[in-house]
Amino acid sequence: MIKYEYFDDNNDNITDRFKFKITFKTDYGVKNLKNLKLIFLFKYELKENIVGKMNTTAFVDIDTPLGASYIKIKGDLNLKQKSPIDRTSFYNEYYYENIFENPIVEKVNYYEVQSEYYSRNFSTTYDYETYIEPMRHPNIVKLDIDINVPSFQKILFSTPLFTKIKFFWIQYCAMFIPVGCILYFIMQFVFRNHIVSTITSNDVGFKKKKIL
């Protein structure tokens, strides 16, 4: 049995958190459940600065050496980026298809799917913590999963060389503005208060005119 809920915690009409409750029966007993692997699929969008639409995944891989009757999982679904994108593609759209053609019918290899998924430049990783109770029920396993989606994520860009030169030149020139202001006020204070003695001279000669 699977139940899920979604929440908009900050009332911005965007889903911020998912909550799943999964219950299943095992004929081998919960003490023989030594590992649990889960794959969640999401439609993930970026709407500011960069437009991105992706089918992303949250992987869960938990070792339970003592068995598990109840597992609580809670964490954040964080954006992961392998390499910076070109600054000129700031508003380009990044789209990835579903990693499964038919995930309900076909069997998949967990590690192959995970490796293929993380080969993308953009992906999501589920950073979670777990709480496990080994023997709440002899053959019933209950999962309580909370997935939070942070509102803000960091995107890495590579700035073109011309833009770097422009920023460097602006900063280099801007450095002299406060220096020039300081020197101007110092000179004004020195000459106004006669701190330095000065002599006025005129090296241009004048000839007197004779009037007849």
For the chain, give me the number of helices (H) and strands (E)?
3, 10
**Residue 73 structure tokens:** 């999982």
CB 144 within 8 A of CB 136: no
* pLDDT reported for residue 69: 93
The answer to whether the pTM exceeds 0.75 is no
Question: pLDDT digit string (tens) for 41-67?
Answer: 888 877 766 666 778 888 999 999 999
CB atoms within 10 A of CB 26: 16
pLDDT tens for the 212 residues of the chain, in order = 889 898 888 887 888 899 999 999 988 888 889 999 998 888 887 776 666 677 888 899 999 999 999 999 999 999 888 887 765 554 444 555 555 555 554 667 888 888 888 888 888 899 999 999 988 888 999 999 999 988 887 777 776 666 667 777 777 777 777 887 888 888 888 777 777 666 666 666 555 555 54
Sign of torsion, CA 113 57 54 43?
positive
CB 23 within 8 A of CB 141: yes
Residues forming a β-bridge with 73: 130, 145
Residues forming a β-bridge with 148: 17, 76
Q: Helices 176-192 and 161-174, interaxial angle, to 10°?
A: 10
CA 33 – CA 142 distance, rounded (Å):
12
CB 55 within 8 A of CB 97: yes
Those residues whose C-beta lies under 8 Å from the C-beta of residue 54, and which sit 6 or more positions away, are 43, 44, 45, 94, 95, 96, 122, 123, 124
